[in-house]
Amino acid sequence: MASFGNLIDELDSYADKKKAALVRRFFKTGKGEYGYGDVFLGIVVPTQRQIAKKYFHLKFSDLTRLLKSKTHEHRFTALVILVEKYKHGSKKEKETIAQFFLRNRRYINNWDLVDTSTPQILGDYLLTHDIRILGTLARSKNLWDRRIAILATFPFIKVGKYEETLKIAVMLIKDTHDLIHKAVGWALREVGKKSLQTEEAFLQKYAHRMPRTMLRYAIEKFPILRRKKYLSGVVI
């Protein structure tokens, strides 16, 4: 059976220094940027996902080691494996995985890591469990906790439950970080796909308070004249 060491070796075999240099800039790893200190091998996402499938059996202790790694691809691969374990797990196993996710979320510390795992694990789990953790995460000083809070509401949107998304959106409306502006706008856009009336009702109340990027993301699919009116602040 393939081991933790085999996984590391296989990922290393796909390392590409040129791609790694490009990705480091894309994920803002410079001093003072949100991804500062992150290390990249330069492996494309489809390859990481293919490799992850081979290591579905890895233990939680191995996944913890991967998550604690400074190497981005190690953490990403661990989360892909965790998502697959959750998807195929029993009710009890899903509980264990969701709690593991929450305990180790300090290592889920870039936007792709949040986005590739939060809706699929925490969001799905919270559909049938106490959702008060979302408020705690939304109030966190940690950028990634706040992004987790809004991304975790995506499964609620899919089943037509918009209240939690709108509640977290209001909590984050004054957030100063661009990555939160984008995530909240994205979530509101998803609400609009299911219920335009719900999104418009929210925008009528809050559009004037929303950061420009958040509003642009939220209305991205609106007809051009409607977008212009929202951006000019004259929508009634």
In a domain, 197, yes or no: yes
In a domain, 124, yes or no: no
Last-in-domain residue among 87, 117, 147: 117
In a domain, 128, yes or no: no
Tell whether 64 and 154 lie within a shared domain: no
In a domain, 183, yes or no: yes
Distant-in-sequence, close-in-space partners of 144: CB < 8 Å, separation ≥ 6: 105, 108, 109, 110, 113, 114
Distant-in-sequence, close-in-space partners of 201: CB < 8 Å, separation ≥ 6: none
Per-residue model confidence as pLDDT tens digits over 187-223: 999 999 999 999 999 999 999 999 999 999 999 999 9
Is residue 81 within 8 A of residue 58, CB to CB? The reply is: yes
Is residue 180 within 8 A of residue 143, CB to CB? The reply is: yes
Partners of residue 39 on adjacent β-strands: 71
Distant-in-sequence, close-in-space partners of 161: CB < 8 Å, separation ≥ 6: none
In a domain, 127, yes or no: no
Tell whether 33 and 70 lie within a shared domain: yes
Tell whether 151 and 183 lie within a shared domain: yes
Tell whether 24 and 102 lie within a shared domain: yes
Is residue 46 within 8 A of residue 77, CB to CB? The reply is: no
Q: What is the pTM of this model?
A: 0.95
Last-in-domain residue among 93, 117, 141: 117
Query: Is the pLDDT score of 70 beyond 60?
Result: yes
Distant-in-sequence, close-in-space partners of 117: CB < 8 Å, separation ≥ 6: 79, 80, 82, 83, 101, 108
Per-residue model confidence as pLDDT tens digits over 5-44: 999 999 999 999 999 999 999 999 999 999 999 999 999 9
In a domain, 91, yes or no: yes
Q: Per-residue pLDDT averaged across 150-178, rounded?
A: 98
What domain count does the chain have? Answer: 2
What's the pLDDT at 162? 98
In a domain, 207, yes or no: yes
What's the pLDDT at 2? 77
**What is the average pLDDT score of the chain?**
96
Is residue 97 within 8 A of residue 126, CB to CB? The reply is: no
Domain ranges, residue 150:
133-236
Q: Per-residue pLDDT averaged across 225-229, rounded?
A: 93
Tell whether 175 and 78 lie within a shared domain: no
Last-in-domain residue among 117, 149, 184: 117
Q: Per-residue pLDDT averaged across 48-67, rounded?
A: 96
167-173-174-179 Cα dihedral, nearest 10 degrees: 120
Per-residue model confidence as pLDDT tens digits over 7-18: 999 999 999 999
Tell whether 206 and 143 lie within a shared domain: yes
Tell whether 158 and 81 lie within a shared domain: no
Tell whether 50 and 162 lie within a shared domain: no
Tell whether 112 and 191 lie within a shared domain: no
CATH number at residue 227: 1.25.10.90
Tell whether 110 and 12 lie within a shared domain: yes
Q: Per-residue pLDDT averaged across 89-103, rounded?
A: 97
Q: Tell me the pLDDT band of 233, cut-offs 50, 70 and 90.
A: confident
In a domain, 144, yes or no: yes
Q: Tell me the pLDDT band of 177, cut-offs 50, 70 and 90.
A: very high
High-pLDDT (> 70) share of the chain, % = 98
Tell whether 89 and 62 lie within a shared domain: yes
Question: Which tokens is 175 given?
Answer: 């957030």
* CA neighbor of 129 nearest in space, from 84, 99, 106: 99
Instruction: Calculate the CA 14 to chain-centre distance.
Output: 25
Question: Which tokens is 100 given?
Answer: 């593991």
Tell whether 138 and 188 lie within a shared domain: yes
Q: At what angle do helices 178-194 and 163-171 cross, to 10 degrees?
A: 160
